[in-house]
Structure 1
Amino acid sequence: MKTILIVEDEMTISRVLKAYLDKNGFTTIQSYSGSEALQAFSAHNPDLILLDVMLPDGDGWSVLEALRKDSTTPVIMLTALGDVDYRLKGLTSGADDYITKPFIGEEVVARVQAVLRRSRTLLQTGDIKQYGSLKINLQSHTVHLSGEEVTFTPKDLSLFLFLANHPNQTFTREQLIENVWGMDYEGSDRAVDLAIKRIRKALGGWSSEQGEIRTLRGMGYQFSVYEA
């Protein structure tokens, strides 16, 4: 049974979210502030977090930033702000999805199930790939650079492992959305560009002589590796 941490200071909304998630077989934990959320996260290690942007002791972005320092737990942002800049900020900061208020309870459950499904079905092969100082374990879903583990958000890890499992093949944004985000994704395909940017930053110590994440203009992205 998956555990969902609900971080929402409006009691009515929190109760509605809890009711829908409980009805669909999830275990729920409720927090009403950023500080409570971080304490609950440490105590319960939830499988996913529903995180409101507006909180009484700060905002959801600072909570997300604190979580992403040492965790890849999926996070769905809840916001009453429909502006595209806030959506992009969430994706850039490492959120896995966003839901704009007012929302339908069934939609929240569907989004939660979709994010959990994508994080659970990254790749099923047991290969270990080594490209110079970069080591990719497709079974344990880990990436090491010069012996140090590289930390990605769940979505970025899914994207990177998909590309790494198909070296020197080019994929359009649409193909990457379908294979990594899923057919039910309704956001902008710019999420792919933002994820690629974060992946490149995380792999900053990987020599371009060994390989690179290439952008092929008008075609898409490719995990390019070069023979020694």
Structure 2
Amino acid sequence: MASKILVVEDEREIADLLVAYIERAGMHVLRATSVPEAIMVHNQSAPDLVLLDIGLPGGDGLDVLAAIRRRAGTPVIMLTAVDDDVSKLSSFRIGADDYVVKPFNPAEVVERIRAVLRRASGEREPKRLSVGPLDIDLEARLVSCRGEEKPDSRLNLTPTEFEILAHMARYPRRAFSRAELLEAAAPGSDAYDRVIDSHLSKLRQKLVAAGCADMIEPVRGVGYRLWLENA
């Protein structure tokens, strides 16, 4: 069943952007734009996680956080333009699970949602990923490719190439934008997202050289995906 995410944000453009990315990640979104509405929707709908702005009509987002904590243990990520230590400390003391400052990368917000949901459910990050002939050891940071001509051939990847491949392997067949892949490989980087094309070109060459088919393919108008017919 898809996770229900309550987005509490009074700026429509920001809310629409978040909703688009969260729904694209396969989650269901509820919306609220004020303190009273946020508390009401939370009480009525029991979301799995709340994205919560601090500056809201009808009060303060911290009031919503406190109301949620009095009633439930719903994970809450603060999403706000308020970037000071007092607000951050107050949020965490009341019970926030994460704190994201605007402006933000919506793809990063989605990954933070996934991470908080995993922690809340007790789910742990797997130590290994296997997609078709690819075997990725996340702890040792090793990648091997079980090709027909070169069985168990190990790929010599740069740190950036490893992060890109591991991120794509977590969601095989999903199309990623260049910005999403850049954020996954180098969070907070101010590099142009087109630099990802160079990394992907070298990564695809290494996959082929290791004996694997060219598993990474471009998606017109979007970016790239790790593709297997039966993945």
TM-score, normalised by the number of residues in structure 1:
0.53
Corresponding position of 1:2? 3
Query: Whole-Å Cα distance in 1 between the matches of residues 95 and 43 of structure 2?
Result: 19
Trace 1:1-228 onto structure 2 (pairs within 5 A): 1-121=2-122
CA drift at 1:122: 6.8
Corresponding position of 1:209? none
- One-letter amino acid matched to 2:45: H
Q: List alignment gaps of at least 5 residues for structure 2.
A: 125-186, 188-231
CA drift at 1:5: 0.2
- Once the two structures are superposed, residues 17-58 of structure 1 have per-residue CA deviations (whole angstroms, 9 ceiling, x without a partner) of 100000000000110101111111122110000010000111
Query: Whole-Å Cα distance in 1 between the matches of residues 69 and 45 of structure 2?
Result: 17
Query: Whole-Å Cα distance in 2 between the matches of residues 122 and 105 of structure 1?
Result: 23
Q: Could you say what secondary structure the match of 1:69 adopts? A: helix
- Once the two structures are superposed, residues 43-83 of structure 1 have per-residue CA deviations (whole angstroms, 9 ceiling, x without a partner) of 21100000100001111011111111121000001110211
- One-letter amino acid matched to 2:8: V
Query: Whole-Å Cα distance in 1 between the matches of residues 92 and 110 of structure 2?
Result: 20
TM-score, normalised by the number of residues in structure 2:
0.52
Structure 1 runs, 4 residues or longer, greater than 2 Å off: none
Query: Whole-Å Cα distance in 2 between the matches of residues 42 and 93 of structure 1?
Result: 18
Query: Whole-Å Cα distance in 1 between the matches of residues 123 and 67 of structure 2?
Result: 24
Q: List alignment gaps of at least 5 residues for structure 1.
A: 124-185, 187-228
Q: Could you say what secondary structure the match of 1:65 adopts? A: helix
- CA RMSD of superposed structures (Å): 1.5
Query: Whole-Å Cα distance in 1 between the matches of residues 10 and 26 of structure 2?
Result: 23
Query: Whole-Å Cα distance in 2 between the matches of residues 72 and 88 of structure 1?
Result: 18
Query: Whole-Å Cα distance in 2 between the matches of residues 122 and 68 of structure 1?
Result: 22
Q: Could you say what secondary structure the match of 1:103 adopts? A: coil
Task: Report percent identity of matched pairs.
Answer: 45
Query: Whole-Å Cα distance in 2 between the matches of residues 36 and 57 of structure 1?
Result: 9
- Once the two structures are superposed, residues 80-100 of structure 1 have per-residue CA deviations (whole angstroms, 9 ceiling, x without a partner) of 021122111110111111100
Query: Whole-Å Cα distance in 2 between the matches of residues 122 and 108 of structure 1?
Result: 19
Q: Could you say what secondary structure the match of 1:106 adopts? A: helix
- One-letter amino acid matched to 1:19: A
Q: Alignment length, in residue pairs?
A: 124
Corresponding position of 2:217? none
Q: Structure 1 residues 36 and 82 mapped into 2: Cα distance closer, same or farther (>3 Å)? A: same
Query: Whole-Å Cα distance in 2 between the matches of residues 37 and 86 of structure 1?
Result: 19
Query: Whole-Å Cα distance in 2 between the matches of residues 110 and 17 of structure 1?
Result: 12
Query: Whole-Å Cα distance in 1 between the matches of residues 79 and 65 of structure 2?
Result: 12
